[in-house]
Amino acid sequence: MNPLAELLSERLSKGQVIDGFDTEAWAVCGRVPQAVVFPESEAQVAEVLSLSSEEGWRCVPGGKGSWLHGGQPPQSVDVLLSAERMDDISEYEPADMFIVAEAGTRLDELERRTSECGQWLALDPPGGERGTLGAMLAVGAAGPLQASFGCPRDQVLGATLVTGDGRVLALGGKVVKNVAGFDLLKLVAGSWGTLGMITSVTMRLHPTPASDRSLLFKGAEAEDGAELACRLAQTPLPLAAVELLVPGEGESGGGAPSPLVAVRILESADAADEAERVLSESAGMAPVQRLEGEQSAAIFDNVRAMEDGAELVLRLSLLPSRLPELVEMTSRLSDLYDPNEGWGMRLAAHAHTGVLRVMIAVVSRPDGWVDRAKTVLGVLRRSLEAEGGSLVVSQGPPEIVSAVSAWGELGPAALLTAGIQAAFDPAGILARGGSPQ
């Protein structure tokens, strides 16, 4: 065992620390940690983090490792803390519609428990069911359902956070309306583990919808699909999600990929019938397919899995009404990949929020590809930012992400961001890369 792992296992127990070869599976954006620890309580997390703060070891908190390849690559990783062994559902009060679970609880386990009581966690983050609750909150991941249910920040009621220097903070509570003091929980959601390690989470639940219906509409070309998605999203209906899906070249069986617009309706059957009528009228066509119940859920589960296996994932944003322009702009990425490798480039867009995810199966790497990628992404980011939008490199080869940075410049907010990081993590052991995230 390396000295660092040795020290850690003295504090915890032998079985809770791994080092050497075994840590490679836990690489963070390609950075292999010196040791991976599996704390079993928040006290142990606090112990590891305060020790690391004293020693100056750089730490990354994680769950089961699903999202470790995303975000801003850290300069180096000494210790990775996995919440895998903290997976108890500690409190579930169906009448109050909240659940308290440890950060390492898997989303599918949560789903299983809540569905027994006719409730669900109305979030569908990318990465499917294998992810953990803590990681989902840490990366702030949300999928198509964000149109109606928002992001994790909107559904988290409370969390326990162990700060970089080992303080244990109980944030939020168990009730939906709570304005007692500053809402530090908002800072934690989407902080990518740079403020501390989340050890426990309290989430709001919803009653399982009486019916689940998805309607698929087909467009001729990608831009038509985007226009159709905009039109459907603008109908005054309570739609759970409107997602534009454009398959990659490699999965379209030759010819131009034809886009689909998937609309999910989580209302009563009568209301869904009426919504279907309005949508068909607005689309000027009937849906090519209607999926009910589990089948409806399944198609959106597929959307969650769309990033799986992608080498580069980008999130492009503009105001929702400009989705067609956004889709059109993806043609500028053609230099970065070979359409014949893997599925090529897939697109998926949340029509209500104007976020377009671009998933590229394999990045082609001819000579000078890093420079070329830097240029292409830099130019695209600048033009989006000039229009009030943004470009996020949510995962990709670390060389590229380090070079262009995952999020871009923060502007005048940078000072506040740095101050917040320092308030939670005075030793700076959790900071990632150039940006505090």
Partner 1 sequence: MENILPEPLTKELGDRLRGVVGDSWVIVDADRLLAYESDGLTAYRRTPRAVVLPRTTDEVSRVLSILSQEGVPVVPRGAGTGLSGGALADGDAVVVGTARMTDMLALDPANRLARVQPGMINVDLTKAAEPFGLYYAPDPSSQSACTLGGNIAENSGGPHCLKYGVTSRYVTGLTVVTYDGKIVEMGGFGRESGGYDLLGVFVGSEGCFGIATEIEVRLLPKPEGVRTLLAIFDRLGDAGSAVTEIMAEGLLPAALEIIDGPTIRAVEASVFAAGFPTDAEAALVVEFDGIEAGLEADVERAVARCREAGAREVRTADSEEERLALWQGRKKAFGAMGQIASDLLVQDATVPRSQLTDVLERISEIGVRHDLTIANVFHAGDGNLHPNLLFDRSDPEEVARVERASTEIMAVCVEAGGTITGEHGVGLDKRRYMSLVHGPDELDAMRRIKAVFDPLGRMNPGKVLPDAPDSAGAAT
Q: Are 37 and 17 in contact (CB under 8 A)?
A: yes
The verdict on 146 binding partner 1 (CB under 8 A) reads no
Residue 201 and residue 102: Cα distance in Å, rounded? Answer: 6
For the chain, report the end-to-end CA distance as a whole number of angstroms.
Answer: 30
Distance CA(338)–CA(350), nearest Å, equals 25
Which residue do the tokens 């309306």 mark? 177
Q: Between 191 and 199, name the residue whose CB sits nearer to partner 1.
A: 191
Return the residue of 212, 327, 407, 427 that touches partner 1, per CB under 8 A: 407
Enumerate residues 99-118 that contact partner 1 by CB under 8 A. Answer: 118
Nearer to partner 1 (CB atom), residue 165 or residue 249: 165
Q: Which of 25, 88, 116, 176 binds partner 1 (CB under 8 A)?
A: 176
Name which position in 232, 263, 406, 431 contacts partner 1 (CB under 8 A): 406
Closest CB to partner 1 among residues 18, 226: 226
CB of 170 to partner 1, least distance (A): 6
Q: How far is the CB of 267 from partner 1 (least distance, A)?
A: 6
**Tokens 């309290």 sit on residue:** 202
| Cβ closest to partner 1, residue 16 vs residue 402 | 402
Strands 213-218, 196-204: parallel, antiparallel or unpaired by DSSP?
unpaired
- Asked if 53 interacts with partner 1 (CB under 8 A), we say no
Residue 322 binds partner 1, judged by CB under 8 A: yes
Q: Is 416 in the site for partner 1 (CB under 8 A)?
A: yes
Q: Round to whole Å and give the CA distance between 407 and 413.
A: 13
Given CA atoms 112, 114, 118, 124 in this order, what sign does their dihedral have? negative
Q: Is 372 in the site for partner 1 (CB under 8 A)?
A: no
Q: 238-297: which residues touch partner 1 (CB under 8 A)?
A: 238, 267-271, 273-275
Please report whether residue 382 would count as binding partner 1 according to CB under 8 A.
Answer: no
Q: What part of residues 178-237 is at the interface with partner 1 (CB under 8 A)?
A: 178-184, 186-187, 189-191, 195, 206-208, 210, 234, 236-237
Applying CB under 8 A, which part among 4-12, 27-35, 368-376, 405-413 lies near partner 1?
Answer: 405-413
- Per the CB < 8 A criterion, the answer to whether 316 and 329 are in contact is yes
Angstrom distance (rounded) from CA 242 to CA 206:
20
The answer to whether 159 and 171 have CB atoms below 8 angstroms apart is yes
**DSSP code string of 51-65:** HHHHHT--EEEESSS
